[in-house]
Copies of this chain bind each other. A is one copy, B any other.
Amino acid sequence: MSGHAFDAAIALQPAGDNLFTGATSPAYANMIGPYGGITAAQMINAVMLHPKRLGEPLSLTVNFAAALADGAFTVEARPARTNRSTQHWTLEIRQADGVVMTGTAVTAARREIWSPSSDAMPAVPPVQDVPVVSRRSRVEWLNRYEVRSVEGSLPETWDGADQEHSRTQVWVRDTPVRALDFASLTALCDVFFPRIWLRRSKFTPVGTVSMTVYFHAGDAQLKAVGTGYLMAQAQAQAFHNGYFDQSAQMWNEQGQLLATSHQIVYYKE
């Protein structure tokens, strides 16, 4: 335990076969319930801590079935199938109220083979040239990230004007700094404010319904990032009758694509 708020937030205790207990973290509280990224990180951490885990995370899908109540929860991480080099996980978080999260994950033992350079990072100013968005927020989880906004920042006026696109680019890392790992990268994939706020310049209630993360880097590559920044980009493709999508890319400072992530998000009129 490093003493970092993130480590405290994702800490889990073994509670029987495939079961762990954890608790929501005030340090990562959202407007209602916890930050979705921290819940996703708690789910992948159950896989990381499982004594039968094979390999490293390759993909993760988490579905936000209900708002988590503040307090304790149980995570189930069940290895549904173990192959020679891949392992398939079925995930669930339960509280007194019933199932609050469902999910699946795949872990894999990677081999070092032909790997061309990935899609290039957009041409953006280096991190030291971009000022930090420094405002203390009443939404606690926002205070856990250092964000430097390159493009598509939160609208300054909520005038309801339709915007051309919904793309955001930020340099981002944990604050205080913490060395990157699979759990923190998972949480970072959910760091963007809702695309509809940018597209519409209108503040509307939203909630992520399902999020998927594909990991394109192994543990060694994440360790090499250390406390460096990620260039994080997100944009939507469709807003339709109450749900919009988001696609995101996470590069390290050298422009290597560490993860891609997708989500579908509920929005209100």
Contact = CB atoms under 8 A, between A and B. Distances in A.
Interface of A: 58-59, 61, 63, 65-66, 80-81, 83, 86, 88-90, 92, 98-100, 102-104, 106, 108, 110-116, 118-119, 162, 199-200, 209-210, 212, 214, 216-218, 237-243, 245, 247, 249, 257, 260, 262, 264, 266, 268-269
Contact of A240 (B80, B98, B217, B240): B217
A8 to B, nearest CB: 28
Copy total for this chain: 2
A100 B239 CA distance: 34
Contacts of A111: 241-242, 269
A92 B78 CA distance: 13
B209 A118 contact: no
Contact of A113 (B58, B216, B269): B269
A104 B260 contact: no
Given A58-B243, A106-B209, A111-B269, 13 more contacts: A59-B210, A63-B104, A86-B266, A88-B99, A104-B210, A106-B210, A108-B242, A110-B241, A113-B241, A216-B240, A217-B240, A237-B260, A238-B257
A237 B264 contact: no
Nearest to A110: B241
A183 to B, nearest CB: 19
Contacts of A199: 116
A104 B106 contact: no
27 contacts: A58-B264, A61-B61, A61-B212, A80-B92, A80-B102, A81-B102, A86-B266, A88-B99, A88-B102, A89-B102, A90-B90, A106-B210, A110-B240, A111-B241, A113-B269, A114-B239, A114-B269, A116-B162, A116-B239, A118-B237, A118-B240, A210-B214, A214-B245, A216-B240, A216-B245, A237-B249, A245-B260
**Chain A at the B interface: mostly helix, strand, loop or mixed?**
strand
A122 to B, nearest CB: 13
Contacts of A92: 80, 90
A52 B162 CA distance: 39
Given A81-B98, A262-B262, A108 B243 contact: yes
B112 A241 contact: yes
